[in-house]
Amino acid sequence: MKRYSIPALFASLAILVSPACADNHANNTPQFIRTSNAASFDTDFTVAAENTVNTVVCIKSFTAQRQNPYGNRGGGYDPFGMFDFFFGPQERQQQPRQQQRNNEPVQSGLGSGVIISEDGYIVTNNHVIDGADKLEVLLNDNSTYEAKIIGTDEATDLALIKIDAEKLTPITFGNSEDLKIGEWVLAVGNPFGFNSTVTAGIVSAKARSISQNSRGGKMGIESFIQTDAAVNPGNSGGALVNLKGELIGINSAIYSNTGSYTGYSFAIPTSIVKKVMTDLKQYGSVQRAMLGCTITELDSKLAKEKGITVTKSGLMVMEVTDRSTAKEIGLQSGDVIVGINDAEIHTFPELQEQLNKFRPGDQISVTYIRDNKKYTKSATLRNSQGSTAITKKGDFSEIGCAFMKIGEETKRNLGISNGVKVTGLKGGAFRDAGIKDGFIITEINGNRVNSSDDVEMIYNQIMKSGESDKVMFITGLYPTGKKYYYAVNLAQE
């Protein structure tokens, strides 16, 4: 067997010998012709890093000190360190007793954010600022500002905050849809509290679903950019940029069994970030467009079973909702959606990413397969209520009443152990549902209530959730002892 040395083998693969080369070979004067015209391999990240570090900030969250033996944010037992993963290294040392008595906020978490406007708007992750009583933003030049929350969206894990500053350096937005698998990217943030840290990697996948780690499955984003750039606790909310220094994603999660980076990280693409930030700034809440049908991903087995031969990927329609975009288009059970506007659709994350770019009232075209023929039709997108109206940011005052504690004697007479009385009823969601003054609420969505604060807490949880239907299911009774059940629709149009 003829053996090749490694250099000789590489030479035989990488070069082409000219005819003259064969003649000169005997004279040991080989001449070679290069066959590759590819550009040189460029790994200079300095421009991207310089264009990014001053646009990324450190965000410290503070919460009022609570009695908690584990030292984390007044929450609960955290045996696996997941609190550290989401919020960065914690301040767990014992606080001065005077500070504890006064319930002064103490630092409870640390993350990153990205400046998106000269006048102080900053995008970050919702989980970085969720539950904070105070937010402090540290710029790259060590300037410190207190921030206020403009809007949050739990479903996409994004939040918009603002500091009172001018002439800041905002990041330049890139187009995440132009990203290619294998393209170099940089992650910039504050891992473990180390400010302005830059790590490099490549795009490993696009429209990646990590449903096993999604936040309760409540319309959570399932269309991540997957990279192997190192992202660690404290990086959350930081920038993922291309080699031009353009923002193409907000770092949000890692795949890890330990809470630290072990191979892959995930970023929310700017195609979604831009839309969510605009909605939060203009309307206070995200305007979500629904196609209005239940679907399942098509594979080769299902395609064979249904007799579909023209495609083996796409989203098969299972059921169509009334008063929906799908109904207007005329979609039917068994149709396979393969495109939205000019984008091909193969998976649910790809569909979700496309729909997240639009608002109710926008026109889209849907391409689908029926009886092995392709059709394209246009329609108007609607919201979860079946209309094109803009939804408004929820406010607790919209329920249209106040609440009064009930005395022990009333509880004994009615045979109840808890409850709050509805009083001062006026125009609002409660009156629209049929509730009258004097009604005593004992439970909301299965949770016992005993004060106005309990009602407001449940209201806020409902409004912050990613559920399309925002409803209070109320159990209670009137002073006569007769029990009633009400469903209060909190969806605003």
Which of the residues are catalytic?
127, 157, 236
Among residues 372, 441, 373, the alpha carbon closest in space to that of 404 is found at 441
Radius of gyration of the chain (CA): 28
Q: Which 8-state DSSP code applies to residue 16?
A: E
Provide CB contacts within 8 A for 335, sequence distance 6+.
316, 317, 368, 369, 370
Sign of the CA dihedral with 71 first, then 74, 79, and 85 last: negative
Beta strands 172-173 and 246-255, pairing class:
parallel
Coil, strand or helix at 363: strand
For 380, counting Cβ atoms within 10 Å of its Cβ (0-12 exposed, 13-18 middle, 19+ buried), the class is middle
Cα gap 229→240, rounded to integer Å: 9
Cα gap 325→354, rounded to integer Å: 15
Contact yes or no for 386/405 (Cβ under 8 A): no
User: Following DSSP, what letter does each residue of 458-485 receive, concatenated?
Assistant: HHHHHHHS--SS-EEEEEEE-TT--EEE
Among residues 366, 372, 370, the alpha carbon closest in space to that of 354 is found at 366
Please state, as a whole number, how many other Cβ atoms lie within 10 Å of the Cβ of residue 154.
22
Cα gap 487→433, rounded to integer Å: 7
Phi-psi region of 434 (alpha: psi -120 to 50; beta: other; left: phi over 0): left
Looking at residue 325, its amino acid is T
Provide CB contacts within 8 A for 38, sequence distance 6+.
none
Cα gap 28→14, rounded to integer Å: 19
Cα gap 422→430, rounded to integer Å: 9
Contact yes or no for 378/405 (Cβ under 8 A): no
Cα gap 225→204, rounded to integer Å: 8
Cα gap 4→407, rounded to integer Å: 94
Provide CB contacts within 8 A for 276, sequence distance 6+.
153, 156, 158, 286, 356
* C-alpha distances out from residue 122 to 64, 323, 367, Å: 24, 37, 37
Contact yes or no for 124/137 (Cβ under 8 A): no
Cα gap 214→219, rounded to integer Å: 9
